[in-house]
Structure 1
Amino acid sequence: MPKVIWWGRSDLNYSRNRICRQLLQSLGYQVIDFSPRISVLADVEAQLVGLASADLIWVPCFRQRDVAAATRWARKKKIPVLFDPLISAWQKQVYERQKYAADSVWARRLLKRESRWMQAVDMVLLDTEPQRQMFMQRFNLESAKTACVYVGAEQPLFTPVASAHSSTFIEVLFYGSFIALHGLATVIAAARMTASQSHIQWVLLGDGPEKASVQQQAAGLVNVSFEPSVPYAQLPRRIAQADIVLGVFGDSEKAAQVIPNKVFQALACARPVITRASSAYPAVFGSGPECSLWQIDAANPVALASAVTQWSRCLHGKRQAAHALYASSFSELQLRHQLQAALGSIGLPIA
């Protein structure tokens, strides 16, 4: 049985990590956890504890700080290293948090450091093709050293669930961590435009840095309500109470490159989705009221209000179509094929 060392102090309950570990196991890999005390000295710790060799080192998402030590140890053992960053630290600090100006000394240093990390590994795994193209360009990576595996929805958790539902209202559900990428000002503006349509109710579920601001924007809107976060395992049942699920609507570079978790999860639960248009989606996807995944212009509340209004009058067949779209394009089988191709491209065995 081939072995993979899961290297880094990662959150094993984070959905991307859980899905990737499930995929590795489905491909016949034994996953060995190594959680070093100090990231920069992890190769020394690995040597001291006698960490056994393996077929692959996997550095999970957000663990840029673990790459240097992982690659130092791997080179001595002649083991390939795969890094699944999910996001770029440079992109996040410059374009999402706007902590550094793109042409600042600090941004250039961060870009140079992250480029060094990316170039040191044998494979950089991304979640969409636009994200892969950005990494290749910004970090000067060869195409052969990059691959895509969709974020997906964890199975069998996210699946159609029967739920008691009121026929009086159409519920439009957003759930998430209330960050800038989500473009929630667009959601509130669209809700305001549909305020006279009392049968349409907007629900924003979750907590995060922008929640207080969003609540302030929604003050006085009786068609908008807020709910606290629910445990991850309860999300499918909460999704099942909604008629329409919202994706993201931000107009940032990052928002244009991703397919959010909630899109995969909602489709897997047989709920139609409205989200901003992105080249991250397969080119064969259509878009419009006839589809179960309706892509609209970013940061466009008029388009969002119009889409919700149209669907509120005719949702027949959308649930079945949403689940069929997930099954054909984003299922666990599709993700397994993607990962298998990525591992095979760097000569790794598949049991």
Structure 2
Amino acid sequence: MHPAGGQLTVRICYLGGFDPQYSRNNFLRQALAENGCEVVMCRVPPGMPTAQKYPQLIAQYAKVWRNCDLLLVPESQQTTVPLGWMLARLTGKPVVFDFFLSMHEMVITERRQFSPRSRQARRHAASDRLAGYLPDILLVQTRRFASFLQARYQVQPAKMHVAPLGVNDAVFFPRNRAIKKDPARLTVLYFGSYIPNHGVPVILDAIALLRADRRFHFRFVGDGEGKAAALAAAQARGLEIEFVARVDFSAVPQQISDADIVLGVFGDTPQADMALANKVLQPLAMCKTVLAGDTHSIREHFVHGEHLQLVPLANAAALADGLRALAADAGMRTRLAEAGYERFRERLTPRVVGADLRARLERLLTAR
């Protein structure tokens, strides 16, 4: 740690192949900066092969290591953890890994890209296991995921620090909405990339059940692997949905602001249960009414009927009933939005999450 203006500054090297605009590492770097930490990035584009990535990262780290207190390997960079560990040991630094998600769970269990008995499945499991073993500290986003890592890979609880997925409150905050084309109808927003844990087929089934209810206007914003199937299903069933292509990140807050109800995730998948979702947190940060699937991860911070409305996962009838209940009670929509916003301010802003994380990093450094 280094003195700066009368207080100590923790200097962190963010090392890996990552997109600095991706919400998770963008949020963590902001959280650290707001709590007196300095971050220097040693990075290459995401997806670069390991044989190309390692030499470039080594060269970048060689220029900055003397001015860093620790290395932090960001989310989804399991394959960079061995390099981070080696560089940390060679230069006398601790290493931290943001174990944001399990690559085995995402690729094999969630998206079923390979057989569970395949070589790729064994490779992802081995990569997860090693990434859980080598670092001095693991950052996880929920207690539920920490329990998973303990059960699956025997990671000790004391090694894990819960750094929740939060929201940049300089970007996502309450704002005025655009004038509605049809004030009599409630705009219900899904925004995302149509991945399995979002449960888009469940949302479509619920919309079909609400076909005759003219109180709703459904808007889907985004692109992704499941969009073509969603478009085809909506057209085949004659569902009235406004499909909008993916918008730039800077336009997402206005899309949220223009909605009356924002939908969370509804797929009954491990990822849905273990992870927090931007599509839940960002609208709460903007004081919007959220209807989401009921998961352990959401209940770590929010209470059904107090901060947001929850329904069982993969249950289209319950989702339709939840929308009807919200449409019938404007007062409830307002109460949920306001209470959800206050809970977000209490727990999931960069300053709050960053203060807890900085304290843990300080303990790591002083213990060495």
Q: TM-score, normalised by structure 1?
A: 0.92
Is 2:39 the counterpart of 1:31? yes
Is 2:247 the counterpart of 1:230? yes
Is 2:197 the counterpart of 1:189? no
Quick one: distance in 1 between partners of 2:145 and 2:57?
Answer: 29
Match of residue 325 from structure 1: 343
Quick one: distance in 1 between partners of 2:133 and 2:53?
Answer: 19
Is 2:331 the counterpart of 1:313? no
Quick one: distance in 2 between partners of 1:47 and 1:218?
Answer: 50
Question: CA offset at residue 46 of structure 1?
Answer: 4.9
* CA-to-aligned-CA distance 1:272-298 (integer Å, 9 cap, x gap): 1111111113457432xx434112111
2:285 to 245, 252, 268: 268
Quick one: distance in 2 between partners of 1:205 and 1:49?
Answer: 42
Question: CA offset at residue 233 of structure 1?
Answer: 1.3
2:259 to 219, 242, 247: 242
Match of residue 164 from structure 2: 150
Question: CA offset at residue 204 of structure 1?
Answer: 0.9
Is 2:18 the counterpart of 1:3? no
Question: CA offset at residue 234 of structure 1?
Answer: 1.6
2:113 to 99, 119, 138: 99
Question: CA offset at residue 308 of structure 1?
Answer: 0.3
Quick one: distance in 2 between partners of 1:234 and 1:340?
Answer: 31
Question: CA offset at residue 103 of structure 1?
Answer: 4.5
Quick one: distance in 2 between partners of 1:148 and 1:99?
Answer: 29
Greater fraction of residues in helix? 2
2:354 to 312, 336, 340: 336
Closer, same or farther: CA 260–194 of 1 in aligned 2, 3 Å: same
Question: CA offset at residue 106 of structure 1?
Answer: 4.0
Question: CA offset at residue 117 of structure 1?
Answer: 2.4
Task: For residue 190 of structure 2, give the secondary structure of its aligned residue in structure 1.
Answer: strand
Answer yes or no: is the 8 Å Cα contact 1:160–1:236 preserved in 2. Answer: no
Match of residue 17 from structure 1: 25
Identity %: 25
Match of residue 3 from structure 2: none
Closer, same or farther: CA 311–117 of 1 in aligned 2, 3 Å: same
Closer, same or farther: CA 262–283 of 1 in aligned 2, 3 Å: closer
1:66 to 62, 76, 80: 80
Match of residue 309 from structure 2: 294
Greater alpha carbon shift after TM alignment, 38-47 vs 198-207: 38-47
Quick one: distance in 1 between partners of 2:301 and 2:192?
Answer: 27
Quick one: distance in 1 between partners of 2:341 and 2:124?
Answer: 41
Task: For residue 100 of structure 1, give the secondary structure of its aligned residue in structure 2.
Answer: coil
Task: For residue 214 of structure 2, give the secondary structure of its aligned residue in structure 1.
Answer: coil
Closer, same or farther: CA 213–120 of 1 in aligned 2, 3 Å: same
* CA-to-aligned-CA distance 1:19-45 (integer Å, 9 cap, x gap): 111111122122111125833345743
| Aligned alpha-carbon RMSD (Å) | 2.1
1:212 to 218, 228, 248: 228
Question: CA offset at residue 342 of structure 1?
Answer: 3.2
Quick one: distance in 1 between partners of 2:341 and 2:307?
Answer: 9
* CA-to-aligned-CA distance 1:181-240 (integer Å, 9 cap, x gap): 111000000001001011211111100010010111111535322111221112111111
Equivalent residue letter for 1:293: L
Match of residue 257 from structure 1: 274
Closer, same or farther: CA 259–117 of 1 in aligned 2, 3 Å: closer
Greater alpha carbon shift after TM alignment, 35-44 vs 110-119: 35-44
Is 2:121 the counterpart of 1:113? no
Closer, same or farther: CA 131–283 of 1 in aligned 2, 3 Å: closer
Q: TM-score, normalised by structure 2?
A: 0.88
Equivalent residue letter for 1:329: R
* CA-to-aligned-CA distance 1:219-269 (integer Å, 9 cap, x gap): 153532211122111211111111100010111111111110111100011
Quick one: distance in 1 between partners of 2:359 and 2:202?
Answer: 38
Question: CA offset at residue 110 of structure 1?
Answer: 2.7
Closer, same or farther: CA 344–47 of 1 in aligned 2, 3 Å: closer
Task: For residue 84 of structure 2, give the secondary structure of its aligned residue in structure 1.
Answer: helix
Closer, same or farther: CA 242–73 of 1 in aligned 2, 3 Å: same
Closer, same or farther: CA 51–324 of 1 in aligned 2, 3 Å: closer
Task: For residue 346 of structure 1, give the secondary structure of its aligned residue in structure 2.
Answer: helix
Task: For residue 174 of structure 1, give the secondary structure of its aligned residue in structure 2.
Answer: strand
Quick one: distance in 1 between partners of 2:188 and 2:363?
Answer: 42
Answer yes or no: is the 8 Å Cα contact 2:284–2:290 preserved in 1. Answer: yes
Answer yes or no: is the 8 Å Cα contact 1:84–1:126 preserved in 2. Answer: yes
